[in-house]
Structure 1
Amino acid sequence: MDKATIICKCEEITYEEIEEVIGHGAEAFDDIKRLTRCGMGPCQSKVCSHLVSQVIHEVTGKPFDEIPVPRTRMPISPIKIETLATNSTEFSTVKSVLDELKLEDGRVK
């Protein structure tokens, strides 16, 4: 790959930028993610994770089976924006701590 090749299209991270952070000690996708935002765009690394592994392999010579897989962090429970943005007491099945608040004159009791 050329150094100007964009590896992460969402965050526009190039091969050269990834190569640079590897030179500063990044050894895994998660290290590169923390230093460059690679994989933090809308696709959540579904497109670039394999390309990043390839760059790590090319730059460090590490075999693919020694390159750790990116960690996945799932939300504990989703919260609708309606829950956060309104004083509505009619919510869907999504629960939040706001559902348990007692309000009096628009203020928390």
Structure 2
Amino acid sequence: MDKSTIVCRCEEINIDEIESAIKMGAHTFDDIKRITRCGMGPCQAKVCTNLMQRIINELTNKPLSDIGPSKMRMPLRITRIGALAGGKESSSVISVFNESAPKEGEANND
């Protein structure tokens, strides 16, 4: 494949950028993700996982069975845009979570 071939469509990461990350010492999907943002777009690595695993396999000679997918991180709670936009004096992380969507069984007093 050509080095300009796009691997991650969401973040527009090409093979050359992934090869550079591997040369810098990245050997797992998550290492490459931290350096390049590959897999951090809207699809959350659903499109680029297989190609990334194949590239890692080819460049590091690591067996495909040893190359796991990227770790998925879910949001802690649904967060309302109004809580993130501010509008109130406190902008600490705790206040954002306190103004987020209520937990199951809690009443919403908005």
- Same-fold call, TM cutoff 0.5: yes
Other-structure match for 1:97: 98
Other-structure match for 2:82: 82
Other-structure match for 2:26: 26
Task: Work out the CA distance in 2 between the residues paired with 1:32 and 1:44.
Answer: 14
- For residues 42-95 of structure 1, what are the alpha-carbon distances to aligned partners after superposition, in whole Å with 9 as ceiling and x for unaligned? 1111101111111001111111111122111011111121344568xxxxxxxx
Task: Work out the CA distance in 1 between the residues paired with 2:3 and 2:79.
Answer: 41
Other-structure match for 2:39: 39
Over 3 Å counting, the alpha-carbon distance change for 1:84 and 1:35 in structure 2 is closer
Q: TM-score, normalised by structure 2?
A: 0.74
Q: TM-score, normalised by structure 1?
A: 0.74
Instruction: Within 5 Å, give how 1:54-69 maps onto structure 2.
Output: 54-69=54-69
User: How much does 1:19 deviate?
Assistant: 0.8
Gaps of at least 5 residues in structure 2 are 89-96, 101-110
Q: Contact (CA 8 Å) 2:10, 2:42: kept in 1 or not?
A: yes
Cα-Cα RMSD: 2.0
1:26 maps to a residue whose letter is A
Moved over 2 A (4+): 82-87
- SS of the counterpart of 1:7? strand
1:79 maps to a residue whose letter is T
2:78 maps to a residue whose letter is P
Over 3 Å counting, the alpha-carbon distance change for 1:20 and 1:80 in structure 2 is same
Gaps of at least 5 residues in structure 1 are 88-95, 100-109
Rg comparison, structure with higher value: 1
- SS of the counterpart of 1:20? helix
